[in-house]
Structure 1
């Protein structure tokens, strides 16, 4: 079993049981004590678990935690880029797309800057800035107003009103988590309302989400899994999870490979 697969197995156990013991993992996974401790350290560095004496527990504080954009952008960068490249292949010239907030969608935006005759609707300051930095005379970008969240989304009544009468071919929706029970979720109540309006505006809903989003539940549901026409994830999602997810969504694509991160000079700390 590869380290990434082993760590995903450990993470799923933590999320299911609330915690794990090193001794139990050594016995069940057939690896050394040191290997398990390295795995727990790697998961803790990513903020996915909290190390305790003899094991690890689920990371808090829970369903309303909303990390800032910079913190989230440092996680799973290669996986997000592989997903974004696959998602970008779905976009054709002359279409209208909506891009919600989120670091995976921000990564996708970098791969759409050369698509001609594109209309982009977004409630993300970061996404709008990507297109602002690479202007094209044949592209239209509409940035909604609204109240800015820690993840640099514009949300609330102003954003909802701006989106309500719009119609797009495809929405690429960034999510905090996805599960069979809760669907696609966010930790921000106002963002959920705004994202639901984006879903209503779109003919097709595509959710690009890396494997760490599976089993994560935010406080508010944006959409049920069945509303997604397509989910694009990465190879880190275990086979059992792939089968369960595929049974509930319109289609599932697993982006192959660990592509390079976004180009230098387009990092999350660039001014907006």
Structure 2
């Protein structure tokens, strides 16, 4: 019985990972990739939709902002890599200057930004709760690194609990780079993991300005919890694959949107 339960759990994770990579798949494609019956896949998709992780379509399923909830951050980093690199390159060349103090949350785009930072000549002080980003930044002597501690979540490579906001209360930064799971005119800026909300809100309060970094897959999407409204943002940096209509909605809400050209 336990073996059956474990295999079902593993299959659910595989389905979510496939949707993160492909965004939309048919039941037939799931059956072929996972070597399962159509009835099994349909039951899995029904369960995952009830849990809020995916959205079923006629004959298949699509990813939502919640599909990535509790999914390994390194897997999320590997999705839309070129677009995330374009966003990080824009930040390096048009926003950051040496001497700044910046805060990075545990979003996958910030892991790529961390790599771009150490490849640049920038000298920065970086505060983060992301173990993944900190591991990269620690390789550079040009970076003064502060890692916010607390409970460590091995799936998100992040420190998350009430200890982290308390540490952040005594710290100020020039820019907080916020990597949310969703941005929409209806809900504002959202995240899929409720445990991350308070630490992100604290990072916003203790930064002079907040800049959201989100690839096109996050635009127009909803996470489980609202982090803040658009009034908290200085700007949003996305990539040039973002839906034009969704971008127009955000701009109508007062958001300055930069669409960074994708890396060729």
TM over 0.5: same fold? yes
Indicate the structure whose relative CO is greater, using CA pairs within 8 Å and at least 6 residues apart: 1
- Displacement of 1:58 after TM fit? 3.3
1:196 aligned counterpart, secondary structure: helix
Q: Deviations over 1:123-167 (max 9, x none)?
A: 10011111112223xx31110001223211211111111111211
**Alignment RMSD, CA only?**
2.2
Q: 1:45 to 1:153 in 2, by over 3 A?
A: closer
Give the superposition deviation at 1:70.
2.1
Name the SS for the 2:263 alignment partner: coil
How high is the TM-score relative to the length of structure 1? 0.73
Q: Are the counterparts in 1 of residues 184 and 220 from structure 2 also a CA contact under 8 Å?
A: yes
Counterpart pick for 1:73 among 63, 74, 77: 77
- SS for the counterpart of 1:111 is helix
Alpha-carbon separation, structure 1, partners of 2:78 and 2:238: 17
* Alpha-carbon distance in 2 for matches of 1:85, 1:48: 25
State the partner residue of 1:100: 105
Tell whether 2:257 aligns with 1:257.
Answer: no
Relative to the length of structure 2, the TM-score reads 0.75
Task: Label 1:216 to 1:66 Cα distance change in 2 as closer, same or farther (>3 A).
Answer: farther
CA distance in 2, matches of 1:166, 1:215: 32
Distance 1:219 1:249 in 2: 23
Are 2:227 and 1:222 equivalent residues in the alignment? yes
What is the CA deviation profile of residues 212-261 of structure 1, one whole-angstrom value per residue up to 9, with x for unaligned ones?
001322211111123211100111112111111122244110001325xx
Structure 2 residue ranges without an equivalent (≥5) = 1-17, 29-57
**Which secondary structure does the structure 2 equivalent of 1:232 belong to?**
strand
Pairs within 5 Å for 1:101-250: 101-113=106-118, 114-136=120-142, 139-149=143-153, 150-250=155-255
Q: Give the structure with the larger helix fraction.
A: 2
